[in-house]
Chains A and B, each alone.
Chain A
Amino acid sequence: MRAFGKTRFIRHSGLALVLAGVALLVFALASLTWGDVRLGPGQLVDGLLGCDEFAATILWQIRLPRLLTGMLVGAALSGSGLVMQVYFNNSLASPGLLGVSAGSAAGAVVAIGSGLATFTLLTVPIFAIAGALAATFGVILLARRGASTERLLLAGVAINALLGAVTSYVLSAPTVSYERNAQLVFWLIGGLEDRTWEHIWMAAPIVPAVLLLLPMGRSMDLLSLGATEAQSLGVDVPRLRRNLLGLSTILTALATAVAGTVGFVGLIVPHILRLLVGSEHRRLVPLSLIGGAAFVVGCDLLGRCAGGARLGVVTSLVGAPFFLWLLRRAER
């Protein structure tokens, strides 16, 4: 809370949106053209249109699914973090720190490890959502709204440990085959490698969830200045809170189901944007979605340039120092 928006550098909300959009576009183009096989602008257009068969295969089978998954995951995690910060009235709330990501991961690991995931595409997301819901309710039980940062983070530590144990159990269970285990570990680190159109369909519900979030900016503004005041001004606070919690949980679960645990996105992106444009959620909601997508695609690029470091590794390397800086700042 204390760390919230002291100054804002960009007063024009249109400008901020344009900048975020341009960043996303640049990263997206780079993501499509860079790789083991470099594609020129001409090849890119030909490939996308299907004129150049070689380029088309690379783009449509490998790079586009990777890019789209990254965008969906980034928007979902960033939006989810922003919503959690409003809900808990604490700027350090985010899916990773509160254990919601760990809950989704535990759910997904159970689905994959038990072999249920082979039956239908929906199994992993459904299990991930169930795990995320369990984690969310756990956090709410341990730390109520407006709880101190310490309490909230400690609740997150407890939930993370508990659900991490579930994940570890599945990984160490003798019934899980070696191949499946390798697949699980790879998936747990979080990354966008080998994503297919199937994964995009799996993550597709992120789009309607995000669209539901867009018009809620104004009521989020009112809620963030006090629940009682918001209620008196006409916000149906209990309903708004239910919706916010449901949406943020589902967004995190879906993102985790397709990309594994990718940390710190929901913490960093809303924070930086708040510093840039101020605290108004009507502006922050769309910006966080675009900014989150740009951030994840950018981190993925960075990892690819750094010899194939996975997305989850890059976001943690960038995010953990940033988190420590925020903690120091909040103390002052």
Chain B
Amino acid sequence: MSRAALSLREVTVPGRLHPVSMELPPGLVVGLVGPNGSGKSTLLAVSAGLLPGVGREQNDVRWNGQAVATIPALDRGRRASWTPAEARFEFGFTVRSVVAQGRYAHGDDGAGVEEALARLDLVALAERPVNRLSGGERQRVLLARALATAAPLQLWDEPLAPLDPRHGLEVLSLARSLSRAGGTVVFSLHDLRLAQELDFVVLLEGGRLRAAGAPAEVLTPKRVRAVFGVESCLRPSLCLSLP
């Protein structure tokens, strides 16, 4: 068996995910696409080992070939990181202390926190209470905390949705640099044009895996029409990138 960074075998979540099997090799930026309610968030949470029943025989999730159920909680915090689609902070922690929480599993406070703050453009907000940030700023705090964990497997639930174009591109370039360093970044998104530019695309529909592979093979006009109900074609359009 190959050492897939993330592998799922016949993973089932009643009512939300029908048996899904897939293997993701390390070093990729993976886009998870599918219509609303197709199971993207569930798939990410299961992959992060966060849903009950993960690791049972019918829910075989493995990181680097090791069954997640056999990995102690603290180790999991160092090996994979997950961010929710929506951050609700109800306590007035400072941005810096929330990002430092990413170091919990490492048992230290500071390592990589300043870098993570700088990377997500949060230095100016570092002392602000998190419950007084905008949606996009909160999302960047979550991503900075995920970055601070230094986990090789990053699972992000719709990280780009609340971000402005500039910060969205920065997060994308962050994902690319993490994958170049050997990490695996899996995130859900709705922008199929962006998905087209990632290394690997996983397409879900109604809790089932429809296709997985290179974007050009997965997002064919025929499949896009069948799954999303929209027509698609390739033509030159406005392209945004970091200067």
Contacts and interface: CB of A to CB of B under 8 A. Distances in A.
Contacts of A278: 92-94
Given A225-B98, A279-B92, 12 more contacts: A5-B92, A5-B129, A6-B92, A222-B104, A224-B90, A232-B82, A233-B81, A233-B145, A234-B74, A236-B73, A237-B73, A278-B92
B77 A235 contact: yes
Interface in B117-139: 129
Interface in A125-150: none
Chain A interface mostly: loop
Nearest to A224: B91
Interface of A: 1-2, 4-6, 8, 89, 218-219, 221-222, 224-226, 228-229, 231-237, 239, 278-280
Given A5-B92, A228-B45, A280-B93, A219 B50 contact: no
Interface string B101-119: 1101100000000000000
A233 B93 contact: no
**10 tightest A-B contacts by CB?**
A234-B77, A234-B105, A236-B73, A279-B91, A5-B92, A232-B82, A234-B74, A233-B77, A233-B104, A1-B90
A2 B90 CA distance: 7
User: Which of B45, B73, B75, B83 has the most A CB atoms < 10 Å from its CB?
Assistant: B73
Contact of A232 (B77, B89, B90, B94): B77
Contacts of A1: 90
A4 B84 contact: no
14 contacts: A1-B90, A2-B90, A5-B91, A219-B104, A222-B104, A228-B45, A228-B82, A233-B149, A234-B74, A234-B75, A234-B105, A235-B73, A236-B74, A278-B92
B80 interface: yes
A279 B82 CA distance: 23
Contact of A279 (B75, B93, B101): B93
Nearest to A229: B84
B76 interface: yes
A222 B149 CA distance: 14
B188 to A, nearest CB: 16
Nearest to A240: B73
B48 interface: yes
B16 interface: no
A228 B142 CA distance: 13
A233 B102 contact: yes
A225 B50 contact: no
A225 B73 contact: no
Nearest to B75: A234
Given A226-B84, A228-B50, A280-B97, A235 B92 contact: no
Contacts of B190: none
Contacts of B81: 232-233
Nearest to B93: A279
B167 interface: no
Contacts of A219: 104
Contact of B104 (A5, A218, A226): A218
B111 to A, nearest CB: 15
B67 to A, nearest CB: 17
A38 to B, nearest CB: 45
B9 interface: no
Interface string B49-80: 01000000000000000000000111111101
A296 B96 CA distance: 35
A221 to B, nearest CB: 7
B88 interface: yes
A239 B73 CA distance: 10
Specify which of B50, B88, B92, B102 lies most central, judged by the most chain A CB atoms within 10 Å of its CB.
Answer: B92
A280 B90 CA distance: 12
A233 B101 contact: yes
B140 to A, nearest CB: 15
A4 B93 CA distance: 10
A232 B93 CA distance: 19
A236 B76 CA distance: 10
B101 A231 contact: no
Nearest to B77: A234
Contact of A235 (B75, B94, B104): B104
Of B72, B81, B91, most buried by chain A (CB within 10 Å of CB) is B91
B54 to A, nearest CB: 11
B138 to A, nearest CB: 11
A44 to B, nearest CB: 42
Residue of B50, B75, B90, B129 most packed against chain A (CB within 10 A): B90
